[in-house]
Chains A and B, each alone.
Chain A
Amino acid sequence: MKTKSFSKEKMWEVLYSDSFASIISALMTIILGMLAGLIILLVISPETAWGAFTNLLTGGLAVNGFRRGMGSILYYAVPIILTGLSIGFAYKTGEFNIGASGQYTMGAVTAIFVAVLGENVFGNCTWLVAIILGAVAGGVWALVAALLKVHRNINVVISGIMLNYVGIFVVNWIIKKSSVYEKSRNWTAEIPDVAVIPRLGLDHIFGNKPVNLGIIIAVAIAIVTYFVLKKTTFGYEMKACGLNQSAAKYAGINEKKTILKSLVIAGMFAGLGGALYYLAAQGTHHMVTDTIKQEGYTGISVALLGMLNPIGIIFTGLFIAYLQVGGLHMQSYGLEPEIVDVITAIIIFFCAFSFKLKQFYFKILNKIHGGAR
């Protein structure tokens, strides 16, 4: 009898904890977003809406079999988990790293260059050198914005937007002048075998989909980031800067150095994401067109939906990838894959109220519990 009441007490404790409330509010936003998406589908094409919607929910998992479907999801999740981490990490110091697209592009193209040109120099380590230099390139591109912020007080939103454009022009310019350019297809040359990231047998588990070390790296970095933010002085300094820069400064934190470091690390995450995506398999090419890469913006969605929590970002990255894979099969219903963006947008919109949703959750909880705890 006594143990029962104890476990009940424990249950209420969990139900009332902040992290549980966060998860519930995230689930609420997802359900609301899905419902809104369904309504829009019903309005646009009533006949195919149900079929399309169930297809979206089951995604690639049903169409290509579970293993292949999971493979696709993991493959698409790698770059957006990392750009999501990039945005989430910088956001902790209060900076909105909208320039992640540019950093991602820099990382991707640097990795492709190292892969194609460095095959003979680096041998079997080509992939490793390529992803490291890709991360460095992303960091360097973020450093530009960081220096402008710290020394010239230029808002990183504006420098990020500008550097996204400059970035895509710079890489395309260099590509067109180099031997990496494949003129007939207007894309970058094929990467050699030694540059493909080791599969570690994961591709066999996931039905020959390009799943590899990349997903392990992405998840590991997210976990490390979590601990850095939670348990280290640097993480504390970052959060202090994000909450109140002046207060952090008067508390003896070198706020400029902290912002600089956090932005460069965020850039490295994005750069690494680009490198891992473009070296995941042969047949992946960077198109030499002047369009800004979407993964950077998707990263914003991932970070926001994950409530800027690195562990949350792993799951939201997988979730958005799951929706994207589901969206790929939309065309068979005469619908554009953009329905995924609509749903994502609505989910993110509700994310903005996560605070209110938590309040709402506690209100209901109080009713069930019979008074506040």
Chain B
Amino acid sequence: MNIVYLIGQQTLYCMIPLLIVALGGLFSEKSGTLNIALEGVMMAGAFTGCMFIHFMQESGVIDGQGLLLISLVIAGITGMGISLLHAVASVTWQANQVISGFAINIFVPAITILLARATVGVLQVSFTNTFRVDAVPILSNIPVIGDLFFKRAYLTTLIGIIILVVSVIVLQRTKFGLRLQAVGEHPQAADSVGINVSKVRYLGIMICGFLCGIGGMAFIIPNTTEYAASVAGYGYLAYAILIFGQWKPKRIFVASIFFGLMKTLASIYSSIPFFVSLGIDSYLFKMIPYIATLLVLAFSSKNSFSQPAALGVPYDKGSR
């Protein structure tokens, strides 16, 4: 049974950042702006978040869950800041969205290395992990569920679930969410009924930036104790999950569970006697998440891709 709990906990560590970032990408792409910059924005958030934790722990002003919460907000705001570049480029300047997004992905790791060297002195921004909750009071006593979700838990998991629920409600039940989708499907029509296309798209990209920043921290905190100018390709994976989830929040949730589980099996197979007894090479396990995703995509219905119709097309008022 312990193995099941271990898999469950590890899967959460893996899927929550993917979920948060993919949902962020959803807000941007639903409004019609391609956002390949998820990776870079995640890194920006992870960098400032880790910097804040690093210096706060050093000075001993604050620690624990409070520090984590503030650092998440800081990460989110940083994500918004860097996303602003993408927003200005793709909405105001009608630039090529693939290019400007990709530029951010090269820019952020490089600039964070320079800034880390200039402030901390080394490339790695390290901190002490004081954020794990070994057992949530009361809830961890529930059989099975308590062991799965409320032991060795992180605040980020809860936040990820909240983001999911709020995203579903916002996108499908609020005026803003419906406008966001309208702008991504047919901006001309949306404009003609008085929706400010640029404003909605800006908001979509900003929400995306905030979530990606948080997602960067949600990746770092449970999985490592330093930021070393990398989020291990999670931004690209989240982008894949966004497409895999066909731009639908619930499907994205399922896709991130699937991918998180596969990645967990790949990383901890050696502590599961059954897998070891199969005598399969470790590289095969490493490949599983990626091959499985491709296979699932290949066998799921081929015509069901529901990409927003105006995705990647800058809105030109003259084309109305």
Contacts and interface: CB of A to CB of B under 8 A. Distances in A.
4 closest A-B pairs by CB: A341-B110, A345-B107, A173-B283, A352-B95
Interface in A166-222: 166, 169-170, 172-173, 176
A356 B95 CA distance: 8
A297 B233 CA distance: 13
Interface string B290-317: 1101100110001101000000000000
Interface in B65-83: none
A229 interface: no
B286 A297 contact: no
B114 A342 contact: yes
Interface string A79-120: 000000000000000001000000000000000000000000
B287 A335 contact: no
A336 B103 contact: no
Nearest to B119: A44
B118 A45 contact: yes
B99 A152 contact: no
B45 to A, nearest CB: 17
Interface string B94-130: 1111111011101101110111011000010000000
A338 B114 contact: yes
Contacts of A40: 111, 114
A173 B239 CA distance: 27
Contacts of B294: 148, 154, 159, 162-163
A152 B302 contact: yes
B99 A348 contact: yes
A349 B107 CA distance: 9
B102 A300 contact: yes
Given A155-B243, A162-B293, A166-B290, A338 B110 contact: yes
A66 to B, nearest CB: 28
B86 to A, nearest CB: 9
Interface in A309-353: 335-336, 338-342, 344-346, 348-349, 351-353
Contacts of B98: 96
Contact of B95 (A176, A292, A342, A353): A353
A32 B233 CA distance: 29
Given A301-B106, A353-B95, 4 more contacts: A163-B294, A165-B233, A166-B291, A345-B106
B109 A341 contact: yes
Interface of A: 40, 44-45, 96, 148, 151-155, 157-159, 161-163, 165-166, 169-170, 172-173, 176, 290, 292, 297, 300-301, 304, 335-336, 338-342, 344-346, 348-349, 351-353, 355-356
B244 interface: yes
Nearest to A342: B110
A340 to B, nearest CB: 8
Contact of A162 (B113, B240, B284): B240
Interface in B243-293: 243-244, 281, 283-284, 286-287, 290-291, 293
B49 to A, nearest CB: 20
Contacts of B90: 352
A345 B103 contact: yes
B298 A292 contact: no
Contacts of B281: 173
Contact of B100 (A155, A161, A341, A352): A352
B14 to A, nearest CB: 15
Contacts of A151: 302
Contacts of B290: 162-163, 165-166
A312 B231 CA distance: 33
A349 B114 contact: no
A139 B276 CA distance: 35
- Secondary structure call for the B interface: helix
A152 B102 contact: no
B99 A352 contact: yes
B114 A339 contact: yes
Given A348-B106, A352-B99, A165 B287 contact: yes
A154 B95 contact: no
Contacts of B170: none
10 contacts: A158-B239, A158-B293, A161-B237, A163-B294, A335-B117, A338-B114, A346-B107, A348-B106, A352-B103, A355-B94
A211 B299 CA distance: 47
B96 A341 contact: no
Contact of B110 (A163, A165, A345, A352): A345
Contacts of B305: 153, 155
B283 A172 contact: yes
A174 to B, nearest CB: 9
A157 B241 CA distance: 11
Contacts of A148: 294, 297-298
Contacts of A300: 102
Contact of A352 (B96, B240, B298): B96
A158 B303 contact: no
Given A153-B305, A339-B114, A169 B287 contact: yes
A148 B305 CA distance: 14
Contacts of B243: 155, 157-158
A342 B107 contact: yes
B89 interface: yes
Contacts of B103: 345-346, 348-349, 351-352
B219 interface: no
A259 B283 CA distance: 31
Contact of B93 (A158, A162, A169, A356): A356
B236 interface: yes
Contacts of A292: 233
Contacts of A340: 110
A352 B107 CA distance: 14
B283 A342 contact: no
A296 to B, nearest CB: 12
Contacts of A154: 294, 297-298
A352 B89 contact: yes
Contact of A169 (B107, B109, B286): B286
Contacts of A344: 106
B85 interface: yes
Nearest to B117: A336
A154 B303 CA distance: 10
B96 A44 contact: no
A152 B295 CA distance: 10
